[in-house]
Structure 1
Amino acid sequence: MLSSSRLWIPAAGADLLLILVFAAIGRDAHARGEIVSGAFMTAWPFLAGAAVAWFAVRAWRSPLAVWPSGVCIWLGSVLVGMLLRAATGQTVVLPFIIVALISLGVFLVGYRALVALVVRASRKRQRRV
């Protein structure tokens, strides 16, 4: 579904933005100053993980598909992100892993699911007309 390859740029941009939002919310919730630069410091491992996943599943072929693109980008961003955080001495604790899994799942899979619902509803309306 939604396999148009020209959609990869806005999809990749949405992934980038949502990972930055996740990091900024976390920084703000824990009252860690420097929201903007701090968000980039928190986000970079997850952004790297998302990039690895994009290439691993060739997400540009179907960038808005929930499966496999959305799910693999979500899990890849968390898995690689946590490994990079651990490798660079950043905090990796179970509560943070759980929060990252839930938050990034809602963000990265969620917007794709919403797009799929909107497209499906639009197609149904077009068939009725």
Structure 2
Amino acid sequence: MIRKPSGPHTVPPTVEDLERMAEEALDTIPAELLAPVGNLVIHVEDFPDEDTEREMELESPFDLLGLYRGVDLTRQSVADLRGGPDMIFLYRRPILDYWCETGEELPAIVRHVLIHEIGHHFGFSDDDMERIETME
């Protein structure tokens, strides 16, 4: 069953709309989770690129909502050469597809993906991330 997407949108939200939602979602994530992240960039693209699709062994580009790129804190050492900031990629079209399929609030989906990807930065388990999602 396809549900009507929630929210005031009459046209699909743009990359810029999702970037704004991601910024707003970051404001709702507990400070103790974000404080150690530091140099983190959120980047929204329509789909993962072909290299990412191959690397993640995706059957479809719609299979990936977000991706953390960088060395997670459980594996970082002083020997790590930093080639730039850690990044979280949000993939607009798969997120919108998920939104349409589930009927969940779009900002809540964006927040969920961000928490999940930030959790990877810390090496958190799925249970840890679920607990964080319930914190405000």
Higher helix fraction (1 or 2): 1
Q: Same fold (TM over 0.5)?
A: no
Band of TM-score, shorter chain: 0.3 to 0.5
TM superposition score normalised by structure 2: 0.36
Greater Cα radius of gyration, structure 1 or 2: 1
Larger RCO (alpha carbons 8 Å, 6+ apart): 2
